[in-house]
Structure 1
Amino acid sequence: MLITDGILERGLEFARKAVEQVAAFDSFSEDNDPWGEHDCAGLEVDGQRVLWKIDYYDRRMEFLSPNPADPKVTCRVLTIMLSSEY
């Protein structure tokens, strides 16, 4: 998991809330998840727009995974950021 400086600059309590809300997120729809991959979305935390996304890297974390569905060749990284940091 990567939490950006913008999130951390708002304090540990804000960062904790952001992580908890991302972990609990299940409001996927055609609007925010048009491909049905459940690998990115946005939400509000204390009035701030927060985005999260999951990237799929190879096991050495040098390139994109050759097969994101295969955990044997994939390392997933969750990034939580302010929308202004995207």
Structure 2
Amino acid sequence: MSLHPSTIAGQNDAFRSMIHIPQFGTPKIPGKWLITPGITALPPVAQIEIIAEVRNFDAFTEDNDPYGEHDFGAFEHPGAGKIFWKIDYYDRALTGGSPDPADPSVTCRVLTIMLAQEY
């Protein structure tokens, strides 16, 4: 659990809101995102719908977000079934965990979007 969950939640929300949108210059919240083979095997329209749902996800509760960091979500997609997404915090070189996930200058977020069965 972080000492700054609301700061991290805001950064995670900002990061997710920018996936699949062209960015120019240095991003305010550095990170990468990827989709698993199960997602890439879906029709393009389904992939777009899933990415949009991840970007706009706001159904956080104490049950699915116990630390208040907005770093995980799950939802149903009509064509793909249960979808999970997860944000992990790495150091900027992506060689280990971030020393402080609340500090974008030392953190690179990695967002993974997957079918629940791939978890």
Calculate the TM-score normalised by the size of structure 2. Answer: 0.70
* Structure in which a larger fraction of residues adopt helix: 2
Deviation at 1:10, TM superposition (A): 1.3
For the aligned residues, what is the CA RMSD?
0.9
Residues 11-30 of structure 1 mapped to structure 2, 5 A cutoff: 11-30=43-62
Distance in 1 (alpha carbons) for counterparts of 2:117 and 2:87: 18
Letter in 1 for 2:56: A
The structure with more strand, counted as a fraction of residues: 1
Once the two structures are aligned, what percentage of the paired residues are identical? 53
Aligned partner of 1:67 among 100, 104, 112: 100
Give the aligned partner of residue 53 of structure 1. 86
Match of 1:2 in 2: 34
Residue 7 of structure 1 deviates from its aligned partner by 0.6
Unaligned runs of 5+ in 2: 1-32
The alignment's TM-score, normalised by the length of structure 1, stands at 0.95
Number of residues paired by the alignment? 86
Task: Specify which of 29, 32, 35 is matched with residue 67 of structure 2.
Answer: 35
Segment of structure 1 superposing worse, 50-59 or 30-39: 30-39
Which range moves more in the overlay, 41-50 or 69-78? 41-50
Q: Which 4+ residue blocks in structure 1 deviate beyond 3 angstroms?
A: none
